[in-house]
Structure 1
Amino acid sequence: MSNISGASSGSSTTRRGRVVGVPTVCWCGAQIVGKISKSDPNPYRRYFRCAFAVSNKLMDDNHVFKWVDEALLNEVDRLSSEAKRLEQMVRESEIVFDGAEYENMVFDKVLMKVKEEVFEKVESVVSESKRYMKKLMIVGIAVCMIVVGLENFI
């Protein structure tokens, strides 16, 4: 069983160039759809195709066509090289990362924690003061009512 179809060998070339990875939109703006090949050279092989080209049954055109297995391999290769690049960046940043930066980071974390604790304590003192003031006001009102009541009685 051959992996090569008559018109396209799997590397999809469009007017905009070769599609790398999993295509999402064709150069014409149409969405990409997944299809299954019914050809003799590639029976039941899955591929991506431009929805416009599919709906108009276009053949040998410049719209996106890409085998799914090749698209996924491209995507894995791209992600692998991206992971290597990010890994290298992390290694380089570890080298540049010196003790002063670490101390500043620790200081900032401790400072943030202290600020949070102070804020929580201030909040609790304020709420406790509000409760105390309410009690004082109730007692004051009660005393005023008693005084007014006694004045009226005498």
Structure 2
Amino acid sequence: MSNESANSSGTSAARARGRVVGVPKRCWCGELVVSLISKSAANPYRRYYRCAFAAENRLSNDNHTYQWVDEALVDETEALKFRLGILEQIIVDERAEEEKKKCAEFEMKLETEVFSRMEDAITEPKGRSRK
């Protein structure tokens, strides 16, 4: 029988070529990956991804891409969560930088205004005393 029964209960992986993370697009051999439905007794009607070449030639125990759809989608979701976390951190960092710049600008305005008022306050009594 084909790989759908050989990998019926274990985790799916492209054994010799490394584990495929997420939804596979192409097999290591260059062939497209197709979605099929298992007909095995252990996993009836469970969907899986398979290398089109290996599926067409009914290869079993090979190194071509084979991955359960549900596992691939969980992997894809986890990868997207990770990327979303990175993007959120970038946004938070950018906002923090913008806030720092705004605070620095506001601080400079305040210092300029305070110095201006202090200078006016200092020069005003000098002008009164001379009269």
Please give the secondary structure, in 2, of the residue aligned with 1:11.
coil
- Deviation at residue 96 of structure 1 after TM alignment: 1.3
Q: Which residue of 1 aligns with 2:102?
A: 99
Q: How many residues in Structure 1 have an aligned counterpart in Structure 2?
A: 97
RMSD, matched Cα: 1.8
Pair 1:19 & 2:42 matched? no
Name stretches of at least 5 consecutive residues in structure 2 with no aligned partner. 106-131
Please give the secondary structure, in 2, of the residue aligned with 1:77.
helix
- Deviation at residue 6 of structure 1 after TM alignment: 4.8
Q: Which residue of 2 aligns with 1:7?
A: 6
User: Aligned partners of 2:5, 2:48: CA distance in 1, in Å?
Assistant: 14
Larger RCO (alpha carbons 8 Å, 6+ apart): 2
Aligned positions of 1:9-88 closer than 5 A: 9-88=10-89
Q: TM-score, normalised by structure 2?
A: 0.69
Q: TM-score, normalised by structure 1?
A: 0.59
Name stretches of at least 5 consecutive residues in structure 1 with no aligned partner. 103-154
Quick one: percent identity of the two aligned structures? 47
Q: Which has the larger radius of gyration?
A: 1
User: Aligned partners of 1:25, 1:49: CA distance in 2, in Å?
Assistant: 9
